[in-house]
Amino acid sequence: MTDSVPEGATPGTAPRTAPRTGVWLIGARGSVATTAIAGCAALTAGLHPPVGLVTETPLFADSALPPLDSLVFGGHDTSCVPLTKRADALVAGGVLPYGLPAAVHRHLTAADAEIRPGGPLSGDTRSEQELVDAFAADLTAFTARHHLARTVVVNVASTEAAPAPGDDRLPPSSLYAAAALRAGCPFVDFTPATGLRHPRLADAARRSGLPHAGRDGKTGQTLLRSVLGPMFHHRALAVRAWSGTNLLGGGDGAALADPAAAAAKNAGKERVLAETLGTVPEGQVHIDDVPSLGDWKTAWDHVAFDGFLGSRMVLQTIWQGCDSALAAPLVLDLTRLTARAHAAGLTGPVDGLGFYFKDPESGPADLPGQWQALVALAERLEPGA
């Protein structure tokens, strides 16, 4: 960050001396990344309260998390649209408040200068190894250039299809994950992508000794399911069918118009019901691309269940929200928690972060159980714990 304010400082403050943490976003010019970067700048400048950030609650007061104003942003993206333009578009779509892009323009410009070309793009002839080497070099240079204590890589790119059976190639998400391992960076997969779960990366992930978390951020429909599923189960109410529909716009809606990408997304939604109910009820989740919705989404669920003496009942829910505004604080939370886990010497899947994911790598599937695991993590992260 340049201009008249030292890098890492906000106007009117002394230069920062505490260690800084890198946030390397895959899909760095997308809606979620832009909202996270602009939002972090707004919070550190005192322009808005930290609504939606669990890490800003008293629970984590003693966990020694990296401060929000210590975060330095960069990333990979295949888009060339500057963050300032993306932020203006998000204002027009009602995602960011009017005037915010101008207020945090310097921060957006500084982050945009740290975004490097992603890939592979159409016609890219580089091998997997060459791509991983290039991405890892970008990460290493970013960390060194800003004298960062560590850099956390967070995948917030569009949903990709799962590899076809027998296809051993690394999909883009796994190329980025391999680069994170190569560069010694903790990895967070906020998407349902293959990422670190590719079989070819299993040994490298274990040997790296790095903490990681994923996958697929839980922001709306599945968040409700992780609460309602245990309710039916613990009250011994028999769920006969659970159907849902998602109406999405923006880049996510376009990406999920691909049936293979939608199948990857729905797998986590269905798994939550199977694990919290103990069975898989009838019904499916449908995802419809509605471009006019932009970054807003509507999720509808219809639950048919049996009560005492076979009485048949129905629960219907409607969730309407802004996907980027729901996801951005979770990205900031996960970055801070994973960075602190790395500093504390934790390795492998970080127990307690399942609270944030549809398809967590460890721990319970129900939200109350996940919350208790997160509370335990907060205590483990305290210095001297």
Residue 47: both structure tokens together: 């322009």
pLDDT given for residue 90 in this prediction: 96
CA distance 38 to 291: 24
Q: Would you state the structure tokens that stand for residue 51, as one six-digit string?
A: 């609504």
Grouped pLDDT means (10 residues each) for the chain, 385 residues: 37 58 98 97 97 97 97 97 97 95 98 96 91 98 98 94 89 97 98 94 96 92 89 94 88 65 64 84 88 89 95 95 94 98 97 94 87 97 90
Give all strands (DSSP E) within 307-373, no chain letters.
312-322, 348-349
User: Within the chain, how many helices (H) and strands (E) appear?
Assistant: 12, 11
Euclidean distance between CA atoms 15 and 4, whole angstroms: 11
The Cβ-side half-sphere exposure at 281, using a 13 Å CA radius, reads 26
Residues facing 210 on adjacent strands: none
* pLDDT of the residue at 5: 34
Query: Could you give the CA distance from residue 173 to residue 189 in angstroms, rounded to a whole number?
Result: 9
Q: Is the peptide bond before 6 cis (omega within 30 degrees of 0)?
A: no
- C-alpha–C-alpha distance, residues 161 and 363, integer Å: 25
Contact 70, 19 (CB under 8 A): yes
Residue written as tokens 């009560």? 307
Residue 7's φ and ψ, nearest 5 degrees, are -60, 135
Give the model's pLDDT for residue 11: 38
**Rounded CA gap, 44 and 67, in Å?**
9
| Paired tokens of 280 | 């898989």
Please report the beta strands in 203-311, taking only residues with DSSP state E, as ranges in sequence order.
Answer: 211-214, 238-248, 285-289, 296-306
What pLDDT does 1 receive? Answer: 35
